[in-house]
Chains A and B, each alone.
Chain A
Amino acid sequence: MKQIHHIRDRCDYCGACVSVCPPDAIDLTEHTLTILDTCTLCKNCVIICPLQALEVRDEN
């Protein structure tokens, strides 16, 4: 199943992804980022991320 994968080592927790997420499916604190199951895989977050810290991956 395809999912948005968060690459922690790249992330700066800046919130760019949250601002363009249509279903409000990203929970962001100072040092955590969680993709909620309301994600529709629109990939807006993948595109907007300044650091390419989000990717679509096949997770089994």
Chain B
Amino acid sequence: MRTDVDIVVVGGGPAGSMAAQFAAREGASVLLLEKDREIGIPVRCAEGISKIGLTSHFEPKPEWITRNIKGLMLYPPSGKKINVSSNQVGYILDRKRFDYDLAQMAAAQGADIQTRAYVHDLVWQNDTVDGVRVRLPSRDLTIRCKIVIGADGVESRVGRWAGIDTRARLKDIETCMQATVSGIDIDPDLIHFFFSQKGAPGGYTWIFPKGEDSANIGLGISGEHARHHSAYEHLKFFLDEQFPHASVLTWVAGAVPCSKPLVELVKNRVMLVGDAAHQVNPLSGGGISAALYAGKIAGMTAGQAVRSKDLSHQRLSQYEKQWREKNEKRMNRYYRLKEFIYTINDDEFERIADSVLKKPTQKRTIVNVFKAALITKPSLIIDMIKVFT
């Protein structure tokens, strides 16, 4: 293992592997350090991505796609089904396979990858980062580098060590539980969303099909509503009620940052990407596509900075500038939309559902669902105006 490189990437998820790949493409020497023993495992993800979110980065390989999704079904608290027409089709990925391939693509460009390598601190020289301290199974090691890219997920500490405040408020973290189940009867061509402040307060429950009779079934609840019942308890209740005979093949816990964008993404030669940078759609909790994009441009920026021997803050901040121009406004808008949706109580959800159900199926679009929400709860018009201004 090299102990002196241009760029260290911490974390081997999609953001980290993309950063490593694109930095290496620019000719930089790159070392990616992953704390777990294997890239892609465990899969802490519902695995859904919009078609455009994937195809804007790659020609998707067939083995990455577990399921093609053709539409969505919404369920108000009573469980009535609302089939919503959508041209936003998507995929359910095989994240294990996908992450593995992304890491291989980074390696193919010349990046070194090391698993079971836990980065536990940064090394400083004056006010800039000069390397990382890594704990391997056999020993502790110092790796010298010019730039650190923190792709260390929701549990990111790299940013904090660099002086970036990545702490999230309880209300801005969705605490999640997911079961991969088999032996269920659902429409496997749709993704299913259940809204109920009792069932998933400050969040929602999802069913993302993986096969004809299997799916990822999970939920996220806002941290501020997790005091009395945990995500696990909420999911157990949902499964017992909806799918009492399903076999659970995997349980996985997780957390998703659903906040406004961080104030800083680059500091002291440290760059943050993906969940570590809270680059997640705060309304849906989806973050794969955002991670691919951020990893790519952060990697390119870092690689080019090394090549041009300009490691100034201004140079590295080009990543942040580019990211904000494309995403900041939209993320803030989604954040306000999230706040607005979570003021809707279960009775109001029900009335919105009834109003939408009166429309013919082809007119049931997401926009019309929002229109129904406004008619049902006129006080929300003010909130909506805030969202779109």
Tell whether, in the assembled complex, residue A14 and residue B253 are in contact, meaning their CB atoms are under 8 Å apart.
yes
Chain B interface category by residue count: 35 or more
**Mask: chain B, 158-175; 1 = CB below 8 Å from A; 0 = not:** 001000001111100101
The yes or no answer to B227 lying at the interface (CB within 8 A) is yes
Within B140-191, the residues touching A (CB, 8 Å) are 153-157, 160, 166-170, 173, 175-177
The answer on a CB contact under 8 Å between B168 and A20 is yes
Residues of B within 8 A of A15 (CB): 153-155, 254-255
- B-contact bits for A27-43, CB 8 A (1 contact / 0 none): 11110000000000000
Q: Do B36 and A30 touch (CB < 8 A)?
A: yes
Q: Looking at chain A, what size class is its interface with the partner chain?
A: 20 to 34
Given A48-B175, A51-B232, A24–B253 Cβ distance below 8 Å? Answer: no
B223 an interface residue at 8 Å Cβ cutoff?
A: yes
User: B108 interface residue, CB < 8 Å from A?
Assistant: no
- List of A residues within 8 angstroms of B226 by Cβ: 47-48
Given A29-B35, A30-B36, A47-B226: A19 and B231 interface contact (C-beta under 8 Å): no
Contact of A18 with B by CB under 8 A: yes
Chain A positions 1-60 with a Cβ under 8 Å from a chain B Cβ: 12, 14-22, 24, 27-30, 44, 47-52
CA distance A12 to B218 in the complex (A): 15
* In contact, B157 and A20 (Cβ under 8 angstroms): no
Interchain CB contact under 8 A, B155 and A50? no
A40-B40 Cα distance, complex, nearest whole Å: 34
Taking Cβ atoms with an 8 Å cutoff, the residues of A that contact B are: 12, 14-22, 24, 27-30, 44, 47-52
Q: What 10 A-B pairs come out closest when comparing CB atoms?
A: A15-B155, A16-B255, A18-B155, A50-B231, A12-B253, A50-B253, A14-B253, A30-B36, A19-B154, A29-B118
